């Protein structure tokens, strides 16, 4: 589904160029659900942006569904890749329904407007994230958590084949977080390919069968959660003492922080 080869990309500045990814190789099979982890500034958002075609690729290649995304038009790309951005500014004056309907943009022709199937898809997506009651609200006036659900709905309205999520649950409270990831798990069950950048290690380990760790713009670890979610791996990547214990209900590995460990690590 996704094939990233020796990808190098970054950002131009007034003063020059800052490379954020220094040669990343990644493959996702159709129907996988993968958690993208790593410390702040490790390149998670850049990788997702590159997959969405928002960041120019300096070297290497990205294929999505067998097509080189640099050769796809923005519309074709949007039909293959749905994104839930980390932070989204919403201009005042749009209702939630309007915002979700915008997810259907790539499905409409240049001359035609949003048709009945577009409205139906938007309603269905709102229903999936349990946000139908928000439909008439002003999007700019939603709480952070509400907005994240609405943005997820917009991505679902856009397409369910490949979802890229950037910290999509970070602003949600515990209950909403479980709800959102249960929904993603259900989408995964029904065949969606999901790549989700996350801060929450435990949430990732709980829901994603496979994890990819980025560190300083390179892939540090990539494998099944049960194999790579170990105390020594986590200690290397996050540079602090982390203990792993089994989840009391599912048995999934869960990371536990150790107070004072960071000071000890720095010596």
Partner 1 sequence: MTTGARDSRAQGRDLRTRVLWISVICAASLASGIVACGLGSFPSTPAQTLIALLQALGLGAGQSVDPALSVVVVDIRLARVALAWLTGASLAVAGCVFQGVLRNPLADAFTLGVSGGAAFGASVAILSGLGSGLAGGTFLAAMGGGAGILPVFALAGALLALAAVLALGRAGGGADGGLRRETLVLAGIVVSTFLSALISLLKSLDEESVASIVFWIMGSFQGRGFEHVRLALPYMAVGLGLVAWRARELDLLSLGESQARMLGLDAGRSRLWLLVGASLLSGAAVAVSGVIGFVGLVVPHLLRQVVGAGHRTLLPASAFLGGLLLLWSDVLARSILPGGAELPVGVVTALLGGPFFCLLLGRSARLGRGA
Task: Give the residue, chosen from 35, 38, 85, 217, that forms a contact with partner 1 under the rule CB under 8 A.
Answer: 85
8 Å CB contact between 229 and 198 = no
8 Å CB contact between 240 and 218 = no
Which of the stretches 50-58, 182-190, 201-209, 239-247 binds partner 1 when contact is defined by CB under 8 A? 50-58
Q: Please report whether residue 172 would count as binding partner 1 according to CB under 8 A.
A: no
Q: Please report whether residue 183 would count as binding partner 1 according to CB under 8 A.
A: no
8 Å CB contact between 264 and 218 = no
Shortest distance in whole angstroms from residue 81 CB to partner 1: 8
Shortest distance in whole angstroms from residue 196 CB to partner 1: 16
Q: Which of residues 98-137 bind partner 1 (CB under 8 A)?
A: 98, 102-103, 105-106, 108, 110-111, 113-116, 119-120, 123, 135-136
Cα 146 to Cα 36: distance, rounded to the nearest angstrom: 23
8 Å CB contact between 191 and 140 = no
Max intra-chain CA distance, the chain? 65
Q: Please report whether residue 71 would count as binding partner 1 according to CB under 8 A.
A: no
Which residue, 97 or 149, is less far from partner 1 as judged by CB?
97
Task: Give the residue, chosen from 11, 25, 173, 191, that forms a contact with partner 1 under the rule CB under 8 A.
Answer: 11
Task: Give the residue, chosen from 16, 93, 259, 267, that forms a contact with partner 1 under the rule CB under 8 A.
Answer: 93
Give the CA distances from residue 75 to residues 51, 81, 107, in Å, rounded to whole numbers and listed in that order: 14, 10, 8
Q: Please report whether residue 13 would count as binding partner 1 according to CB under 8 A.
A: yes
Q: Which residues contact 64 (CB under 8 A, 6 or more apart)?
A: 1, 2, 3, 51, 72, 77, 80, 81, 162
CA nearest to 65, candidates 6, 2, 144: 2
In DSSP terms, which residues pair with 82 in a beta bridge? 163
Which of the stretches 23-31, 47-55, 191-199, 228-236 binds partner 1 when contact is defined by CB under 8 A? 47-55
CA nearest to 168, candidates 33, 19, 18: 33
* Contact positions vs partner 1 (CB under 8 A): 11-13, 49, 52-56, 73-79, 83, 85, 88-95, 97-98, 102-103, 105-106, 108, 110-111, 113-116, 119-120, 123, 135-136, 154, 158
């Amino acid at each position: 589904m996704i094939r990233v080869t020796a990808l190098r990309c970054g950002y131009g500045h007034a003063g020059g160029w800052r490379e954020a990814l220094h040669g990343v190789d990644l493959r996702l099979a159709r129907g996988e659900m993968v958690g993208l982890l790593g410390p702040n500034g490790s390149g998670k958002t850049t990788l997702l942006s590159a997959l969405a075609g928002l960041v120019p690729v300096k070297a290497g290649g990205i294929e999505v569904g067998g097509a080189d995304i640099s050769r796809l038009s923005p519309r074709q790309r949007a039909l293959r890749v749905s994104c839930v951005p980390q932070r989204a500014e919403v201009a005042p004056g749009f209702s939630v329904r309007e915002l979700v309907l915008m997810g259907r943009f790539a499905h409409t022709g240049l001359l035609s407007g949003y048709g009945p199937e577009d409205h139906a898809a938007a309603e269905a997506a709102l229903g999936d994230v349990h946000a139908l009651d928000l439909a008439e609200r002003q999007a700019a006036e939603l709480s952070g958590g509400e907005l994240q659900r609405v943005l997820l709905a917009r991505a679902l309205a856009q397409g369910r084949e490949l979802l890229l999520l950037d910290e999509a649950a970070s602003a949600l409270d515990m209950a909403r977080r479980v709800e959102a990831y249960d929904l993603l798990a259900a989408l995964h069950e029904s065949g969606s390919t999901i790549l989700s950048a996350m801060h929450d290690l435990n949430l990732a380990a709980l829901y994603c069968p496979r994890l990819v760790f980025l560190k300083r713009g390179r892939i540090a670890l990539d494998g099944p959660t049960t194999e790579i979610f170990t105390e020594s791996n986590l200690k290397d990547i996050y540079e602090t003492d982390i203990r792993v214990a089994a989840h009391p209900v599912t048995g999934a590995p869960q990371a536990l922080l150790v107070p004072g460990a960071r000071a000890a690590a720095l010596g």
